[in-house]
Amino acid sequence: MEKNIKIFDTTLRDGEQSPGCSMNIGEKIEMARQLEKLGVDIIEAGFPASSKGDFNSVKQIAESVTDVRVAGLARALKSDIDTAWAAIKNAKYPRIHTFIATSDIHMKYKLKKTPEQVYDQAVEMIRYAKSKCEDVEFSAEDATRTRPEFLHKIVEGAIEAGAATINIPDTVGYTTPEEFYEIIKGIKENVKNIDTVDISVHCHNDLGLAAANSLAAVKAGATQVECTMNGIGERAGNAALEEVVMAMRVRKDIYPGENRINTEEIYRTSQLLTRITGVEVQPNKAIVGENAFAHESGIHQHGMLENKKTYEIMTPESVGLSKNKMVLGKHSGKHAFESHLTECGHDLTKGEIEEIFIKFKELADKKKDVSPEDIEALIDGGHRVKNEMYKLNRYTVNTGNTITPIVSINLDKEGENIENVAIGDGPVDAAFKAIDKIIDIDFTLSKYVIKAVTEGSDAQGEVFIRLGKDEKYYNGRSTSTDIVEASIMAYMGAINNYFNEAGGR
């Protein structure tokens, strides 16, 4: 009989914990909706007790999705469980995910508790969580370095106390496929009533084995895999969803379980995450890297021309890489444009389509061919900032190799015209300094990424900016064939996002 493998996505919790991957509430909701479309079974939306911001975003995500379970993480503490429950209780399908460390080293040095105390706390808190929420998951943190007898004991206690999912994390990315297979097998053979619950696995990638370890666990009987898009997560990251899912699909002969993932949404989900966080995947990244389906050598190309299966174990279309290479230009009408958007899976309002169509026409006037990548960049750069307290009216740049770059900026602040001028190390630096003079708030520019959307010197430049203030981050992005303009617009986007979160001033 085929079994069901649940995909538990923790991009918005463990993934978001990784350096450079923080997202604001609007971005998290957008990501959660895309994960729902992708077909994950559970979204771990955050760790509500960790901060007010996390609480709010978990709550809003719980209220924004309907076709997916929403989990909130909680230490095995009453206060954490109360906060997690308050954040997720309005979800259609809520889950409390509670955890405590079980390895000797964590219990002794981090928790400063005996195994007996940890056991009692885990059981008591699972019962407490269960009194609030029907669906409770328990994680034995650092399970792969936990003494097997204690792991079996605490897992058995957790099941008795009402946990319906038992998660076995490889918290420090230490295990190997063969060892992890044996750990899961050992749990299956030694824990009473283990067949009544889902065994979940949660692997970190410190040795580059997270996906392989997850798959070995599935082979041993795990029925839930915790993973993140693009493999983002603490340190070297978590098991990459796209790798685990595609390995199970391509090697169905080895992993006969079924999952709900709509694999054609994988590429779009990966791209959305990249655009939101500004964290690119390496070009040779499995499944979603730029070169994952590129065949460069003559021998490979020859083989591909004779029969694609010579070098292709899965099609690019199966992960959602567009078959549609239609190039639109300035003579393309709204109808062709709209049908292109629909074919690419965009679900935009009439107003959004109208707005992007105007931008498309402007771009087509500057650039002969507008590619699908250009249009994706327009959509992404165009509709992310909700309210713009500051809008760009105009700017002028005077620069050269023998003069100091100088930029004058004119902004509209709710009907008022404000202008300032600054010099800088280059036109972008001068532009940012002129804007800083107008806004008069101290931000730290913690990230500035610029890349060409397509080839050619008329390509659009895509700019991602992250501004930091008071330990919080505000992202902005924009595209334009003029990189100074794209930089200014991205900078303004981050500033407007700051005002949207701070509620204006």
Binding site for ligand KIV (CB under 6 A): 14, 99, 139, 141, 167, 169, 171, 202, 204
Does 142 participate in binding Zn ion (rule CB under 5 A)?
A: no
Does 14 participate in binding Zn ion (rule CB under 5 A)?
A: yes
Does 462 participate in binding Zn ion (rule CB under 5 A)?
A: no
46 pairs with which residues across the strands? 72
Min dist CB 10 to ligand KIV, Å, is 7
Min dist CB 59 to Zn ion, Å, is 22
Minimum CB distance to ligand KIV smaller for 10 or for 34: 10
Minimum CB distance to ligand KIV smaller for 14 or for 80: 14
137 pairs with which residues across the strands? 97, 165
Which contacts (CB < 8 Å, 24+ apart) does range 282-285 have?
Answer: 285/230, 285/231
Min dist CB 40 to Zn ion, Å, is 16
Binder of residue 99, out of Zn ion, ligand KIV, none (CB less than 5 to 8 A by kind): ligand KIV
CB under 8 Å to 89, separation ≥6 — which residues?
62, 132, 133
Min dist CB 234 to ligand KIV, Å, is 7
Residue 447, judged by CB atoms within 10 A of its CB (0-12, 13-18, 19+), counts as middle
Binding piece for Zn ion, criterion CB under 5 A, among 7-15, 131-139, 152-160, 469-477: 7-15
Residue 479, judged by CB atoms within 10 A of its CB (0-12, 13-18, 19+), counts as buried
Binding piece for Zn ion, criterion CB under 5 A, among 11-19, 130-138, 267-275, 281-289: 11-19
Min dist CB 141 to ligand KIV, Å, is 4
Binding piece for Zn ion, criterion CB under 5 A, among 12-20, 364-372, 461-469, 487-495: 12-20
Min dist CB 440 to ligand KIV, Å, is 41
Are 227 and 248 within 8 A, CB to CB?
no
Site size toward Zn ion (CB under 5 A) is 1
Residue 131, judged by CB atoms within 10 A of its CB (0-12, 13-18, 19+), counts as exposed
CB under 8 Å to 252, separation ≥6 — which residues?
none
Sheet holding 416-423, edge to edge: 390-398, 406-413, 416-423
Total H helices, total E strands in the chain: 16, 14
The string of DSSP codes covering 138-182 is EEEETGGGS-HHHHHHHHHHHHHHT-SEEEEEETTS---HHHHHH
- Residues numbered 312-371 forming contacts with Zn ion, rule: CB under 5 A: none
Which residue minimizes CB distance to Zn ion? 14
Binder of residue 145, out of ligand KIV, Zn ion, none (CB less than 5 to 8 A by kind): none
Backbone angles phi, psi at 99, to 5 degrees: -145, 155
Binding piece for Zn ion, criterion CB under 5 A, among 8-16, 185-193, 247-255, 483-491: 8-16
Min dist CB 14 to ligand KIV, Å, is 5
Minimum CB distance to ligand KIV smaller for 103 or for 487: 103
Contacting positions for Zn ion (CB under 5 A): 14
